Amino acid sequence: MNDVAPIRRALVSVADKSGLLELGRALVEHGVVIVSSGSTAAFLRDGGIEATAVSEVTGFPELLDGRVKTLHPRIHAGILADRRKPAHLEELERLRIEPFDLVVVNLYQFRETVATGASIDEVLEQIDIGGPALVRAAAKNFHSVGVVARPDRYAAVLDEIRSTGGLSEATRLRLAREAFAHTAAYDAGISEWFAENEPSGGVEEDRPEAEWPPERLSEALALRAPLRYGENPHQRAALYESEGHPGPLGGARVIQGKEMSFNNWLDADAARATAWMFEEPCAAIVKHSNPCGVALDDRLAVAYRRALEGDPVSAFGGIVAFNRDVDGEAAAAMSGVFTEVVVAPGYSEGALLAFAARENLRVLEAPPPSPRMAIEIRHLDGGALLQDSDRLIETREEMRVVTSGEPTAEQWEDLLFAWRVAARVKSNAIVLATGRATVGIGAGQMNRLTSVTVATGNAGERARGSCLASDAFFPFRDGVDRAGEAGVSAIIQPGGSVRDEEVVAAAEEGGMAMVFTWRRHFRH
């Protein structure tokens, strides 16, 4: 049975005019009558392509500054008529309504307009009303109508029309599925924008209590690329990007090396976030989403070497991130260590030349993370958890020294540095630092004492005189005692345990200064 639906009449109305002239010419060459509206009709006619105006079909001019164009029975009945039902065809004939076989519509550029910082009125004008109605109508009636909502589908659709005279039902079904995903993502973007804006139009940094938590969550994600496999070779995987955004890691692009793996993307995201926690030039080395070495220095090469010294064993096969453009000296400093990915905002010619000799190295160019506060969604079986992203907003002035001995100026620098790094380490997190560089990290342990043991064990003699950060309070004095035995000189931690007095006493007995931050940074 031939399930190819011939294409004789098309409704074309698009905001994104990429490839539109090529599409229009090909349809006209195939004998397709094009009906179009507004700027799309003008664009086609300027390109020498004949197009019937929607107003000629409806008998009405465009109304309300173009807000009303296609919302008319002669348009929607022509799309929604089910050709399998004789009664529908008879009704169209009686009312002299011509059916559409193809609907080519993409929507006003709402997210792109929001991203420009446009006013609330300008943003509201980019909420498409007629477009989604056309797309949904055609997708619902895929048995009779083909719908194309993405310019990157034009070539494949035209190839099929040229070879078969129309579109198969399988193709129409696939296009319908994509169309509903397109409108769902569009509506999700609008919903997110309304949730983030006051009635006056001011964007809030913190959500008002009346809007928290949101009644519904929606994630608008579009396929970026299939991946070779997931965390393990037997798992299927793919990379998606948020609709209307540049893409993963701010639109990162691989400028050298083979495609990124699932684990590469996860670790690159963690490394980039760690490096950009600091205003000073930073090098961060990450393994399995945990920092294993972080250091600050005006020279990136020095920062990298000091980060590497923090745990050279774990750095093998890791991800390196910089928060400055990488120069040739820094690239050369990395030459002796096998690295999966390096991610930075840019690279000098010297750096790229040095990296070119390492064919297994992926070089990823990514802009700074967005400063906008985000939310995190974690999926559960049959549900999800939502939270604000963790932010380090506590200041030194808000912290309290709880021991008789005050930290020195140098210790304060290392304490605050270690505190920031600890916020990126999986709990229970312990970070030792000296000279604004990590010398030992304990991550992901089931108890804090073991984390201290791991961190001081990795540091060895470098633990002596170091400063320790703990992402949450010490529930017992044993972790502090262990740190004192290793030679730690100062500790920063949230405080708040019922045994705080015992913990502070342990620090006093060990000759260590202790600072409470009153804020924890668990990272499960």
Statement: residue 486 has pLDDT above 60: yes
In the predicted model, what is the mean pLDDT of residues 231-249?
87
| Residues 479, 289, 310: CA angle, nearest 5 degrees | 60
Statement: residue 481 has pLDDT above 90: yes
317 and 168 fall within a common domain: no
The CA distance from 115 to 2, in Å, is 46
328 and 425 fall within a common domain: no
pLDDT, residue 202, reads 45
Its domain, for residue 498, covers 396-516
pLDDT, residue 468, reads 98
Identify the weakest region by mean pLDDT among 132-141, 257-266, 367-376.
367-376
Statement: residue 280 has pLDDT above 90: yes
| pLDDT tens per residue across span 431-459 | 999 999 999 999 999 999 999 999 999 99
pLDDT, residue 212, reads 74
* Residues designated as active site: 140, 288
Q: Is residue 90 part of a domain?
A: yes
350 and 404 fall within a common domain: no
32 and 150 fall within a common domain: yes
Query: Which one is predicted more confidently, 259 or 247?
Result: 259
Q: Is the peptide bond preceding residue 428 cis, with omega within 30 degrees of 0?
A: yes
Q: What is the CATH number of the domain that holds 338?
A: 3.40.140.20
The domain tally of the chain equals 3
255 and 116 fall within a common domain: no
Q: What is the CATH number of the domain that holds 31?
A: 3.40.50.1380
Confidence of residue 198 (pLDDT cuts 50, 70, 90): low
- Among 365, 385, 413, the domain boundary falls at 365
The first and second tokens of residue 421, run together, are: 């790094």
3-state secondary structure (DSSP) of residue 302: helix
Query: Which one is predicted more confidently, 204 or 157?
Result: 157
DSSP state of 259: P
Identify the weakest region by mean pLDDT among 33-47, 168-182, 194-208, 317-331.
194-208
177 and 316 fall within a common domain: no
The answer to whether the beta carbons of residues 267 and 286 sit under 8 Å apart is: yes
Query: Which one is predicted more confidently, 117 or 473?
Result: 473
Residue 225 has φ and ψ, to the nearest 5°, of -170, 145
What is the CB neighbour count within 10 angstroms for residue 119? 10
pLDDT, residue 196, reads 65
Owner of token pair 């920063």: 492
Statement: residue 229 has pLDDT above 90: yes
The CA distance from 420 to 156, in Å, is 50
pLDDT, residue 514, reads 98
pLDDT, residue 141, reads 87
Q: Is residue 64 part of a domain?
A: yes
324 and 404 fall within a common domain: no
Statement: residue 48 has pLDDT above 90: no
Statement: residue 207 has pLDDT above 50: no
